[in-house]
Amino acid sequence: MEKYYNDAIIGNKEITASFTKKGELIRLFYPNTDYRQFIDFLHVGVKINDSSIIYLHDDVNNSYVQYYTENTNILNTEILNTYFKLKVLQTDYVSRDKNILIRKYKMKNKNNIDLNLNFIVHSSLLTNENNQVSGYYKNNVLFQYMHDYTFTICSDRKIEKSQINNNEANIQTGIIGDKDYVGMSNDSSISYDLGILKSNEEIEFCIYITAFNGSDVKNIEKQVEDIKNIDYKKELEKTKKYWEKYVKDHDTIKLTNSNSEYMNQLKKIYKRTILLYPLLINHLTGGISAAVEIDENRTKCGRYSYCWPRDRNIYNKCPRYFGYEKRNRKIL
């Protein structure tokens, strides 16, 4: 799949993540927004009763509503599967002081029958012959690692089954599991048994996606154990207060509420711009990316994750080196 559009962006000083309008996580940059992004795809779905996998981001029976919590970089995606009448609220946010992308799910059974829920995560990292990905399952955690970088996926619940290799053979059935706990595979999957959700009942749970720069496995395993025990409600409230204060501190124009739809839309765009810029800044160098990358494979353009203020400075100092680009591109 070519990932040309980012419909929503969240992050902190080290992680920048982007999503489609259906809540699919399509990019995750670490340890800076202008460094490489690691995700090929990260799909989540549910197996309900005797169904095959129902992807939350892509099913013919799903309808979607997406919005940010006001004045924050906390993203909410409401998903309603009209066939099983399962309502899902997916809330994505990145912790302010930990490199954790937290995905909170609230599910409600709007049907008049019981729903037996199995939640599945299928994660694939970008790989090539010089940068192969390995998968590793241990202590209710999925580890995916390459060179000096490690990604982990875990939850506050016990993993029911895991599959490291050959996921394409059976992932569509919604039934995973094999004997391997480690393998040279760029995509792996885990599943959680959420039990039976009776009519009008609700259930909540979280998955935690973490990024580490380093290969000290024992130290990473210890940190992940601590992550599984964090209070996601306190983490959510802390993140919410941080961004609300950030908007307040940077709102220098002070646009007021108006009866004009135009002015109200302008105010929303203005505040969203305030919230976007810190997600594009490399906080170590001060560079500001023009956008979260939109075309890694250069199928439509020459890529777009450039830092234009830096480019402008280099153009001015090195006109001979950039002569061709300078003749063929307008310099701001």
273: left (phi over 0), alpha (psi -120 to 50) or beta: alpha
| 260-274: average pLDDT | 91
Do 136 and 12 lie in one domain? The reply is: yes
Read off the pLDDT band of 215 (50, 70, 90): low
Question: How many CB atoms within 10 Å of residue 301?
Answer: 9
What's the one-letter identity of residue 237? E
2 is a domain residue: no
Per-residue pLDDT at 313: 47
The CA distance from 114 to 117, in Å, is: 9
Same-domain pairing of 58 and 206: yes
Whether residues 34 and 157 share a domain: the answer is: yes
User: Do 48 and 189 fall into the same domain?
Assistant: yes
Considering the domain boundaries, does residue 217 fall inside one? yes
Mean of pLDDT values over 276-285:
90
Whether 163 and 189 share a structural domain? yes
- Statement to judge: residues 217 and 250 lie in one domain: no
From residue 325, alpha-carbon distances to 84, 202, 302, 319, 321 in Å are 55, 57, 12, 9, 9
Tell whether the torsion through CA atoms of 222, 156, 159 and 26 is positive or negative. Answer: negative
More confident position, 115 or 256: 115
The encoded tokens of residue 91 equal 């809330």
Instruction: Looking at the structure, tell me whether residues 313 and 227 fall in a common domain.
Output: no
* 102 and 163 both lie in a single domain: yes
Whether 1 is covered by a domain: the verdict is no
Of the listed ranges 232-246, 266-280, 285-299, the least confidently predicted one is 285-299
Closest by Cα among 38, 136, 131, 95 to 242: 95
DSSP state of 172: G
From 231, 260, 277, the end of a domain falls on 231
- 186 is a domain residue: yes
Residues 209 and 167 in one domain: yes
**Last-in-domain residue among 205, 231, 257:** 231
In a domain, residue 258? The reply is yes
| Residue in 18, 29, 26 with CA at minimum distance from that of residue 43 | 26
Q: Which residues face 193 on adjacent strands?
A: 118
Could you read off the pLDDT of 89-125 as tens digits, one per residue?
999 999 998 899 999 999 999 999 999 999 999 999 9
Whole-angstrom distance, CA of residue 206 vs CA of residue 153: 10
Same domain? For 246 and 226 the reply is: no
Measure the CA–CA gap between 292 and 304, rounded to whole angstroms.
Answer: 8
Summarised one tens digit per residue, pLDDT across range 306-327 is 665 545 444 344 433 333 333 3
Of 161-165, 202-206, 232-236, 255-259, the poorest mean pLDDT is in 255-259
Across-strand partners of 108? 87, 202
Clarify whether residues 150 and 253 are in a common domain: no
DSSP codes joined into one string, 47-109: EETT--EEETTB-TTEEEEEEEPTTSS-EEEEEEETTTTEEEEEEEEE-SSSSEEEEEEEEEE
Q: How many domains does the chain have?
A: 2
CA distance 212 to 142: 13
The Cα–Cα gap between 155 and 157 comes to 5
Q: Which of 231, 257, 273 is the last residue of a domain?
A: 231
The pLDDT of residue 324: 33
- pLDDT value at residue 309: 53
**Quick one: 227 and 107 in the same domain?**
yes
Average pLDDT in the chain: 88
pLDDT of residue 300: 78
Residue 3 covered by a domain = no
Q: Are 221 and 139 in contact (CB under 8 A)?
A: yes
Residue 175 belongs to what domain range?
8-231
Q: Please report, for the domain that includes residue 156, its CATH number.
A: 2.70.98.10
Give domain status of residue 60, yes or no.
Answer: yes
